[in-house]
Amino acid sequence: MSKEAKKTPISERRRFFTDLAHHAGLGVMGMLLWAGYADKAKSSPLTLRPPAALDEAEFLKTCIKCGLCAEACVNRPQNIDKETGRPRPGTIKMAKAQDPVTIGTPYFIPSDVPCYMCDDIPCVPVCPTGSLDPAKVTNPETGEFDIRMMDMGLAVVDQNSCIAFWGIQCDACYRACPLLDEAIRLEYDRNPRTGKHAFLKPVVDMHACTGCGLCEKACVTEKPAIFILPRSIALGKPGDHYVKGWDKQDQARVANQEGKDLTTHTQRSEKAPEDYLNGGLEF
Amino acid sequence: MKWSNIKYLILRRFVQLSLLFLYFAGNYWGWTVLQGDLSSSVLFGAVPLSDPFAVLQILATGAIIGTNALIGAVIIALFYGIIGGRAFCSWVCPVNMVTDLAAWLRRKLMIDRIERKIWISRNLRYYMIVLALIVSAISGLAAFEILSPITILNRGVIFGFGAGVGLIVAIFLFDLFVVKNGWCGHICPLGGIHSIIGKRSLIRVKHDSDNCTLCMKCKEVCPEVQVLGMIGKRSEFVSRQECTNCGRCVDVCDDDALDFHIRNILASKESK
């Protein structure tokens, strides 16, 4: 560009369009950086939320990060240590920047402090935004809070490290469970190694378990052999193809699957058996 | 130093620290005076208060929000809209103490005179509001709330500090070495929201140019110096919305040329 061209003022129209492009460009740049960060700032899928939390995506939208649930949790009367007069650490933590949880949102780590499943569920009604939805823990018949309706997660037993599965007698999780004999049952089994002892194997009932984590806290192994996972991680889904024909309730589950293709499709099933058996199949 | 030169500064620090203490006590001792945090609180165990900007972002994600949060946001917006103006920024927000410290150090260390000037528009905060709402809609996450130093600092006091302190330090350094009043006076979208909300508030600083000796001390300390355009020229209210009602100009003025007054809202509308 010559010196003269530099001095020549650009036209109003050109200035307008250049300004427009400038602002739009900066705006899009900022938006991309920000949206990219927001995506990374979302919680790890292993995050356990307080009782009655909405599904994670909705929860992240609505939680205003006020901490009222955490304050209600730590200051509930049952949590006050009678000797010191001070509250014990609360279950609900508020995520800090270094945690794998969206900053400022409430979560809990059962092996630190499990959820004690208070009858009055003090953490839920204080939520100002409805991220913790009282309806999710209200019994529709009585209209009152029902701790059995909580589903913060699901206890999962690692049978390899659970010493009860080795044959050593341990029922720590079974006894710690607030829904004793419902959420965790002991399954008696013959121990063929000794021939005269029994296994007392803890078995979790997925319907009854609330994910409170008292079992994980109570577990005696170095790293707990029973632990809480979010239900979205811990559970599979059979889909509509498979039905318990002997179970009326399970038939109700697939009552609305009308019109869907019920054939299982795999790469193999696309060809007739004689074709893929004779011709081979590449995957 | 005379009391009249630091009156509002001390009052502001008292209010800011008292609120932080009450929030802290709400968690630590279970006091019911003020519980929650600056995003959403409960006053005296009954009155909901919410940050209008946080609520706006939640609405932008497309979510349905509880009535308590909505009522709380309306209460806050009405209080600052009718009475306080942008007072949240200077009387409540804890980051104000950090950025005020940076601004004070800048003056003492005369950084303004050696620094290479980096120019940022003071309107950036309004673009940040729009951007925050767009990103909230895209990402399904209240976009400013995941990096707001205001709530990070506030929650740090209430629930314990974490790595978020780094952001507070970064803002301090930015204000100290990069742009004068950079965060609060240029970038913070919450400040932008409170500017808009408080545009027509009753409480305003009024300038009396007859008493003014043109010492310009007010302009030295003002964090939003563009609002003091009338100094020494016209006797009128500081009417621009960015004024935080911090009262530093009132403090430093030794000539009785600046003081808080009640503005007649209707009259100021007519004069526009």
Q: State pLDDT tens for residues A170-192.
A: 999 999 999 999 999 999 999 99
- The residue-averaged pLDDT of B56-74 equals 91
Would the CB atoms of A39 and B167 count as touching at under 8 Å? no
Q: Cite the DSSP H helix spans in chain A.
A: 3-7, 12-40, 56-62, 68-74, 163-166, 172-176, 214-218, 231-234, 248-253, 273-279
pLDDT at A170: 93
pTM: 0.85
Residue type, B41: S
Lowest-pLDDT choice from A226-235, B13-22, B110-119: B110-119
Q: For residue range B127-144, what is the model confidence (pLDDT) as tens digits?
A: 999 999 999 999 989 999
Encoded tokens for A170:
């341990």
Contacting residues of A for B132, CB less than 8 Å apart: 34
Average pLDDT value for chain B? 89
Q: For chain B, say whether A75 makes contact (Cβ under 8 Å).
A: yes
Report the distance separating Cα A207 and Cα B125, nearest Å.
50
CA of A140 vs chain B CAs: smallest distance (Å)? 20
**Is pLDDT above 80 for A267?**
no
* For testing contact with chain B, the best of A42, A64, A78 (most B CBs within 10 A): A64
pLDDT confidence of B220, banded at 50, 70, 90?
confident
Comparing C-alpha atoms, which of A130, A125, A126, A123 is closest to residue A108?
Answer: A123
Residue-level pLDDT at A245? 85
End-to-end, the C-alpha distance of chain B in Å comes to: 40
Question: In the predicted model, is pLDDT for residue B268 greater than 80?
Answer: no
Average pLDDT over residues A230-257: 85
What is the per-residue burial (b if ≥16 Cβ within 10 Å, else e) of B128-139? bbebbbbbbebb
List own/partner pairs for A241-248 with CB under 8 A and 24 or more apart.
none
- Looking at the complex, does the CB of residue A42 fall below 8 Å from at least one CB of chain B? yes
On whether the CB atoms of residues B38 and B51 are closer than 8 A, the answer is: yes
Give the integer Cα–Cα distance in Å for B43 and A183. Answer: 40
Report domain B203-270's class: alpha beta
Which domains are delineated in chain A?
A: 45-150 (no CATH), 153-256 (3.30.70.20)
Handedness of CA A237, A243, A249, A252 (dihedral sign): positive
Q: Which two tokens stand for residue A179?
A: 């829904």
Mean of the pLDDT values across residues B229-252?
A: 89
Band of pLDDT at residue A222, cut at 50, 70 and 90: very high
Please indicate if any CB of chain B lies within 8 Å of the CB of A60. yes
Residue ranges per structural domain of chain B: 3-196, 203-270
- Contacts for A235-241 with beta carbons within 8 Å, 24 or more apart? A235/A154, A235/A206
Q: pLDDT band for B115, please (50, 70, 90 cuts).
A: low
Q: What's the rounded mean pLDDT across residues B11-28?
A: 93
Q: What is the pLDDT of residue A253?
A: 81
Give dist(CA A97, CA B147) in Å, integer: 9
CA distance A133 to chain B (A): 9
In this structure, which amino acid lies at residue A174? Y
Query: How much is the pLDDT for A53?
Result: 92
Mean pLDDT of A68-88: 88
If you ran DSSP here, which 8-state letter would residue A90 be given?
P
Which residues in chain A have Cβ-Cβ distances shorter than 8 Å to B24?
Answer: none
Q: Does A156 reach chain B within 8 Å, measured CB to CB?
A: no
Tokens standing for residue B262:
């009640």
> CA B260 to CA B153: how far, in whole Å?
29
Q: Which residues of chain A does B162 touch, with a Cβ-Cβ cutoff of 8 Å?
A: 96-99
Q: Which chain B residues are within 8 Å of A98, Cβ to Cβ?
A: 162-163
| Residue numbers in B near A65 (CB within 8 A) | 37, 39, 54, 142, 145, 151, 155
Give the rounded percent of residues in chain B with a pLDDT score beyond 70: 97
Contacts of B238 (CB under 8 A, 6+ apart): B204, B205, B206, B207, B227, B228, B230
Q: Which residue of B has its CA nearest to A70?
A: B27
**Is residue A132 pLDDT above 50, yes or no?**
yes
Mean pLDDT of A55-79: 91
Confidence of residue B264 (pLDDT cuts 50, 70, 90): confident
pLDDT at B270: 43
- By percentage, how much of chain A surpasses pLDDT 90? 58
Task: Kindly give, in sequence order, each residue whose CB lies less than 8 Å from that of residue A16, ignoring residues fewer than 6 positions away.
Answer: none
